[in-house]
Chain A
Protein backbone atom coordinates (compact mmCIF):
# COMPACT_ATOMS: atom_id res chain seq x y z
CA UNK A 1 0.00 0.00 0.00
CA UNK A 2 1.27 3.45 -0.89
CA UNK A 3 0.69 6.43 1.40
CA UNK A 4 1.12 10.12 0.55
CA UNK A 5 1.97 12.39 3.47
CA UNK A 6 1.19 15.92 2.28
CA UNK A 7 3.67 18.56 3.44
CA UNK A 8 2.53 22.18 3.57
CA UNK A 9 4.72 25.11 4.59
CA UNK A 10 4.44 24.93 8.37
CA UNK A 11 3.55 21.23 8.68
CA UNK A 12 5.55 19.77 11.54
CA UNK A 13 4.15 16.29 12.20
CA UNK A 14 4.83 15.07 8.67
CA UNK A 15 7.85 12.98 9.64
CA UNK A 16 6.03 11.34 12.53
CA UNK A 17 3.22 10.42 10.14
CA UNK A 18 5.73 9.10 7.62
CA UNK A 19 7.46 7.09 10.34
CA UNK A 20 4.15 5.54 11.42
CA UNK A 21 3.29 4.13 7.99
CA UNK A 22 6.76 3.59 6.54
CA UNK A 23 8.73 2.22 9.50
CA UNK A 24 6.03 0.91 11.82
CA UNK A 25 3.56 -0.40 9.26
CA UNK A 26 6.29 -1.25 6.76
CA UNK A 27 4.40 0.12 3.79
CA UNK A 28 5.43 2.48 1.01
CA UNK A 29 5.18 6.17 1.79
CA UNK A 30 6.30 9.50 0.41
CA UNK A 31 6.53 12.95 1.87
CA UNK A 32 4.79 14.94 -0.85
CA UNK A 33 5.39 18.70 -1.09
CA UNK A 34 2.04 20.38 -1.65
CA UNK A 35 3.15 22.10 -4.85
CA UNK A 36 4.60 19.23 -6.80
CA UNK A 37 2.04 16.65 -5.94
CA UNK A 38 0.49 14.14 -8.24
CA UNK A 39 -1.66 12.01 -6.00
CA UNK A 40 -3.04 9.66 -8.64
CA UNK A 41 -0.73 6.77 -7.73
CA UNK A 42 -1.34 6.83 -3.99
CA UNK A 43 -3.75 4.56 -2.14
CA UNK A 44 -4.25 6.83 0.86
CA UNK A 45 -3.72 10.50 1.69
CA UNK A 46 -2.45 11.62 5.10
CA UNK A 47 -2.68 15.27 6.14
CA UNK A 48 -0.30 15.80 9.07
CA UNK A 49 -0.43 18.24 11.95
CA UNK A 50 1.44 21.49 12.31
CA UNK A 51 0.78 25.12 11.63
CA UNK A 52 0.34 25.41 7.88
CA UNK A 53 0.87 29.04 6.82
CA UNK A 54 1.35 29.97 10.47
CA UNK A 55 -2.36 29.47 11.15
CA UNK A 56 -2.91 32.84 9.44
CA UNK A 57 -6.55 33.91 9.08
CA UNK A 58 -7.88 30.66 10.60
CA UNK A 59 -6.11 27.33 11.19
CA UNK A 60 -6.05 25.44 7.91
CA UNK A 61 -7.81 28.17 5.92
CA UNK A 62 -4.92 29.13 3.65
CA UNK A 63 -3.82 25.53 3.02
CA UNK A 64 -7.41 24.78 2.03
CA UNK A 65 -7.02 27.12 -0.96
CA UNK A 66 -3.88 25.47 -2.42
CA UNK A 67 -3.89 23.68 -5.76
CA UNK A 68 -3.45 20.26 -4.18
CA UNK A 69 -6.87 20.53 -2.55
CA UNK A 70 -8.64 19.61 -5.78
CA UNK A 71 -6.59 16.40 -5.91
CA UNK A 72 -7.36 15.57 -2.30
CA UNK A 73 -11.07 16.07 -2.98
CA UNK A 74 -10.77 13.83 -6.00
CA UNK A 75 -9.09 11.08 -3.97
CA UNK A 76 -11.81 11.42 -1.32
CA UNK A 77 -14.51 11.21 -3.97
CA UNK A 78 -12.88 8.08 -5.38
CA UNK A 79 -13.23 6.47 -1.96
CA UNK A 80 -9.56 6.47 -1.00
CA UNK A 81 -8.83 6.79 2.71
CA UNK A 82 -8.05 10.40 3.66
CA UNK A 83 -6.84 11.00 7.21
CA UNK A 84 -6.35 14.49 8.62
CA UNK A 85 -4.75 14.83 12.04
CA UNK A 86 -4.80 18.07 14.03
CA UNK A 87 -3.97 20.78 11.46
CA UNK A 88 -4.89 18.15 8.86
CA UNK A 89 -8.35 17.94 10.46
CA UNK A 90 -8.61 21.74 10.42
CA UNK A 91 -7.76 21.72 6.70
CA UNK A 92 -10.44 19.07 6.00
CA UNK A 93 -12.99 21.29 7.78
CA UNK A 94 -11.90 24.41 5.92
CA UNK A 95 -12.03 22.66 2.55
CA UNK A 96 -15.49 21.37 3.36
CA UNK A 97 -14.77 17.63 3.22
CA UNK A 98 -15.99 17.42 6.81
CA UNK A 99 -18.71 19.54 8.47
CA UNK A 100 -18.12 22.04 11.28
CA UNK A 101 -15.31 24.38 12.28
CA UNK A 102 -12.58 24.75 14.89
CA UNK A 103 -12.56 27.38 17.62
CA UNK A 104 -9.78 28.20 20.09
CA UNK A 105 -9.68 25.86 23.10
CA UNK A 106 -12.20 26.88 25.72
CA UNK A 107 -9.45 27.87 28.17
CA UNK A 108 -7.32 29.47 25.43
CA UNK A 109 -4.31 27.32 26.33
CA UNK A 110 -2.25 25.27 23.95
CA UNK A 111 -2.49 21.76 25.36
CA UNK A 112 -0.02 18.95 24.83
CA UNK A 113 -0.63 15.75 26.76
CA UNK A 114 -2.25 12.31 26.59
CA UNK A 115 -6.03 12.07 26.50
CA UNK A 116 -8.26 9.05 26.88
CA UNK A 117 -10.40 8.62 23.78
CA UNK A 118 -13.48 6.46 23.38
CA UNK A 119 -13.86 4.61 20.11
CA UNK A 120 -17.49 5.45 19.28
CA UNK A 121 -17.51 3.73 15.92
CA UNK A 122 -15.28 0.70 15.39
CA UNK A 123 -16.97 -0.22 12.15
CA UNK A 124 -14.88 2.04 9.91
CA UNK A 125 -11.86 1.56 7.68
CA UNK A 126 -9.87 3.55 10.26
CA UNK A 127 -10.99 1.85 13.47
CA UNK A 128 -11.85 -1.75 12.64
CA UNK A 129 -8.94 -3.01 14.77
CA UNK A 130 -10.43 -1.40 17.88
CA UNK A 131 -13.34 -2.57 19.99
CA UNK A 132 -16.57 -0.60 20.19
CA UNK A 133 -16.34 1.83 23.15
CA UNK A 134 -12.72 0.85 23.73
CA UNK A 135 -10.71 3.42 25.67
CA UNK A 136 -7.39 4.34 24.12
CA UNK A 137 -4.58 6.72 25.06
CA UNK A 138 -3.61 9.19 22.33
CA UNK A 139 -1.77 12.50 22.78
CA UNK A 140 -3.23 15.85 21.81
CA UNK A 141 -1.25 18.99 20.91
CA UNK A 142 -3.39 21.91 19.85
CA UNK A 143 -4.57 25.44 20.58
CA UNK A 144 -7.55 25.41 18.21
CA UNK A 145 -9.17 22.05 18.89
CA UNK A 146 -12.55 23.16 20.12
CA UNK A 147 -14.80 21.49 17.56
CA UNK A 148 -17.98 23.39 16.76
CA UNK A 149 -21.03 22.61 14.65
CA UNK A 150 -24.69 23.58 14.90
CA UNK A 151 -27.26 21.30 16.52
CA UNK A 152 -28.65 20.10 13.23
CA UNK A 153 -25.17 18.99 12.07
CA UNK A 154 -24.47 17.34 15.42
CA UNK A 155 -27.71 15.36 15.08
CA UNK A 156 -26.73 14.26 11.59
CA UNK A 157 -23.26 13.23 12.76
CA UNK A 158 -24.86 11.12 15.48
CA UNK A 159 -27.56 9.64 13.27
CA UNK A 160 -25.02 8.58 10.63
CA UNK A 161 -22.46 7.24 13.14
CA UNK A 162 -19.95 9.78 11.87
CA UNK A 163 -18.55 10.50 15.32
CA UNK A 164 -15.57 8.17 15.48
CA UNK A 165 -13.73 9.31 18.63
CA UNK A 166 -14.85 11.27 21.68
CA UNK A 167 -12.84 12.49 24.66
CA UNK A 168 -13.44 10.73 27.94
CA UNK A 169 -12.70 14.05 29.70
CA UNK A 170 -13.35 16.91 27.30
CA UNK A 171 -10.14 19.02 27.34
CA UNK A 172 -11.04 21.84 24.94
CA UNK A 173 -14.81 22.48 24.93
CA UNK A 174 -15.65 20.54 21.75
CA UNK A 175 -19.39 20.01 21.22
CA UNK A 176 -20.44 16.47 22.04
CA UNK A 177 -16.90 15.78 23.38
CA UNK A 178 -15.94 15.22 19.75
CA UNK A 179 -12.33 14.27 19.07
CA UNK A 180 -12.74 12.85 15.56
CA UNK A 181 -15.40 12.64 12.85
CA UNK A 182 -15.67 11.12 9.41
CA UNK A 183 -17.66 11.94 6.29
CA UNK A 184 -20.89 10.14 5.53
CA UNK A 185 -19.21 7.80 3.09
CA UNK A 186 -16.72 6.78 5.80
CA UNK A 187 -13.45 7.31 3.93
CA UNK A 188 -12.45 10.74 5.26
CA UNK A 189 -11.48 10.94 8.95
CA UNK A 190 -10.44 14.09 10.79
CA UNK A 191 -9.20 13.96 14.38
CA UNK A 192 -7.41 16.37 16.72
CA UNK A 193 -5.44 13.73 18.71
CA UNK A 194 -2.25 12.38 17.15
CA UNK A 195 -2.32 8.60 16.54
CA UNK A 196 1.03 8.86 14.73
CA UNK A 197 2.63 9.90 18.03
CA UNK A 198 1.46 6.71 19.73
CA UNK A 199 2.76 3.88 17.57
CA UNK A 200 5.51 2.47 19.81
CA UNK A 201 5.10 1.21 23.36
CA UNK A 202 8.72 2.17 23.96
CA UNK A 203 7.76 5.82 23.50
CA UNK A 204 4.78 5.70 25.82
CA UNK A 205 1.79 4.17 24.06
CA UNK A 206 1.04 2.25 20.89
CA UNK A 207 -2.74 2.67 20.84
CA UNK A 208 -2.48 4.77 17.67
CA UNK A 209 -0.86 1.98 15.73
CA UNK A 210 -4.07 0.06 15.14
CA UNK A 211 -5.56 3.03 13.29
CA UNK A 212 -2.92 2.67 10.59
CA UNK A 213 -3.23 -1.12 10.68
CA UNK A 214 -6.98 -0.75 10.13
CA UNK A 215 -6.39 1.30 6.98
CA UNK A 216 -3.98 -1.34 5.70
CA UNK A 217 -6.26 -4.28 6.49
CA UNK A 218 -9.14 -2.56 4.76
CA UNK A 219 -7.04 -1.81 1.71
CA UNK A 220 -5.78 -5.40 1.49
CA UNK A 221 -9.32 -6.72 1.58
CA UNK A 222 -10.45 -4.28 -1.10
CA UNK A 223 -7.40 -5.11 -3.14
CA UNK A 224 -7.99 -8.87 -2.87
CA UNK A 225 -11.58 -8.44 -3.99
CA UNK A 226 -10.57 -6.32 -6.97
CA UNK A 227 -7.71 -8.57 -8.03
Chain B
Protein backbone atom coordinates (compact mmCIF):
# COMPACT_ATOMS: atom_id res chain seq x y z
CA UNK B 1 0.00 0.00 0.00
CA UNK B 2 1.19 3.49 -0.82
CA UNK B 3 0.35 6.74 0.83
CA UNK B 4 0.43 9.60 -1.66
CA UNK B 5 0.72 13.10 -0.24
CA UNK B 6 -0.57 15.60 -2.78
CA UNK B 7 -0.14 19.35 -2.53
CA UNK B 8 -2.30 21.52 -4.77
CA UNK B 9 -1.36 25.16 -5.10
CA UNK B 10 -2.67 28.08 -7.09
CA UNK B 11 -0.56 28.96 -10.10
CA UNK B 12 1.55 32.05 -9.94
CA UNK B 13 -0.43 35.02 -11.20
CA UNK B 14 -3.79 33.56 -10.20
CA UNK B 15 -5.50 35.81 -7.70
CA UNK B 16 -6.01 34.18 -4.29
CA UNK B 17 -8.70 36.13 -2.39
CA UNK B 18 -8.55 33.67 0.49
CA UNK B 19 -4.79 33.98 0.81
CA UNK B 20 -5.16 37.76 0.71
CA UNK B 21 -7.68 37.68 3.58
CA UNK B 22 -5.38 35.46 5.66
CA UNK B 23 -2.47 37.78 4.90
CA UNK B 24 -4.47 40.79 6.06
CA UNK B 25 -5.42 38.97 9.26
CA UNK B 26 -1.80 38.04 9.99
CA UNK B 27 -0.81 41.63 9.45
CA UNK B 28 -3.56 42.84 11.75
CA UNK B 29 -2.10 40.45 14.36
CA UNK B 30 1.01 42.57 13.88
CA UNK B 31 3.10 40.05 11.97
CA UNK B 32 4.24 43.00 9.96
CA UNK B 33 6.84 41.08 7.95
CA UNK B 34 4.22 38.88 6.21
CA UNK B 35 4.72 39.53 2.51
CA UNK B 36 2.22 37.18 0.90
CA UNK B 37 0.00 34.19 1.70
CA UNK B 38 -1.23 31.60 -0.76
CA UNK B 39 -3.77 29.00 0.37
CA UNK B 40 -3.72 25.55 -1.22
CA UNK B 41 -4.95 22.04 -0.54
CA UNK B 42 -3.35 18.94 0.89
CA UNK B 43 -4.68 15.45 0.24
CA UNK B 44 -3.67 11.95 1.27
CA UNK B 45 -4.58 9.22 -1.16
CA UNK B 46 -4.01 5.57 -0.28
CA UNK B 47 -3.34 3.34 -3.23
CA UNK B 48 -2.67 -0.32 -3.65
CA UNK B 49 0.37 -1.34 -5.61
CA UNK B 50 -0.11 -0.98 -9.34
CA UNK B 51 2.03 -0.56 -12.39
CA UNK B 52 2.78 2.97 -13.50
CA UNK B 53 1.77 4.40 -10.17
CA UNK B 54 3.14 7.83 -10.98
CA UNK B 55 1.39 8.18 -14.29
CA UNK B 56 -1.81 7.06 -12.60
CA UNK B 57 -1.46 9.78 -9.95
CA UNK B 58 -0.70 12.34 -12.65
CA UNK B 59 -3.91 11.39 -14.43
CA UNK B 60 -5.91 11.60 -11.20
CA UNK B 61 -4.57 15.09 -10.58
CA UNK B 62 -5.17 16.27 -14.14
CA UNK B 63 -8.67 14.79 -14.39
CA UNK B 64 -10.08 15.69 -11.00
CA UNK B 65 -7.92 16.58 -8.03
CA UNK B 66 -6.44 19.75 -9.52
CA UNK B 67 -7.77 22.15 -12.14
CA UNK B 68 -4.86 22.69 -14.54
CA UNK B 69 -6.23 26.10 -15.55
CA UNK B 70 -5.55 27.57 -12.12
CA UNK B 71 -3.65 25.00 -10.08
CA UNK B 72 -0.35 23.14 -9.93
CA UNK B 73 0.27 19.96 -8.01
CA UNK B 74 3.19 18.09 -6.51
CA UNK B 75 3.21 14.81 -4.64
CA UNK B 76 5.36 12.34 -2.76
CA UNK B 77 4.79 8.61 -2.48
CA UNK B 78 5.44 6.79 0.77
CA UNK B 79 5.10 3.20 1.85
CA UNK B 80 2.07 2.74 4.10
CA UNK B 81 1.45 -0.25 6.35
Contact = CB atoms under 8 A, between A and B. Distances in A.
A148 B15 contact: yes
A8 to B, nearest CB: 16
A57 to B, nearest CB: 7
Nearest to A99: B69
A10 interface: no
B64 A146 contact: no
Contacts of A99: 69
Central interface residue in A65, A101, A146, by most chain B CB within 10 Å: A101
Contacts of B63: 65
Interface of B: 14-18, 21, 63-65, 67, 69-70
Nearest to A60: B67
Contacts of A106: 15, 17
A150 B70 CA distance: 9
A108 interface: yes
Contacts of B67: 58, 61, 94, 101
Nearest to A96: B69
Q: For chain A, what secondary structure do more than half of its interface residues adopt (helix, strand, loop), or is it mixed?
A: loop
B17 A173 contact: yes
Central interface residue in A99, A101, A103, A149, by most chain B CB within 10 Å: A103
B50 to A, nearest CB: 20
Given A61-B64, A65-B64, 19 more contacts: A57-B64, A57-B65, A58-B67, A61-B67, A65-B63, A99-B69, A100-B69, A101-B67, A103-B14, A103-B17, A105-B17, A107-B17, A108-B18, A108-B21, A146-B15, A146-B17, A148-B15, A173-B15, A173-B17
B31 to A, nearest CB: 20
Contacts of B70: 101, 103, 148
B19 to A, nearest CB: 10
Interface string A54-94: 00011001000100000000000000000000000000011
Contacts of A103: 14-17, 70
Nearest to B68: A101
Name the 8 nearest CB pairs between A and B, nearest first. A101-B69, A101-B70, A104-B17, A108-B17, A101-B67, A106-B17, A108-B21, A58-B67
A33 B63 CA distance: 24
A93 B69 CA distance: 10
16 contacts: A61-B67, A65-B63, A93-B69, A100-B69, A101-B67, A101-B69, A103-B15, A103-B16, A103-B17, A103-B70, A105-B17, A106-B15, A108-B18, A146-B17, A148-B70, A173-B15
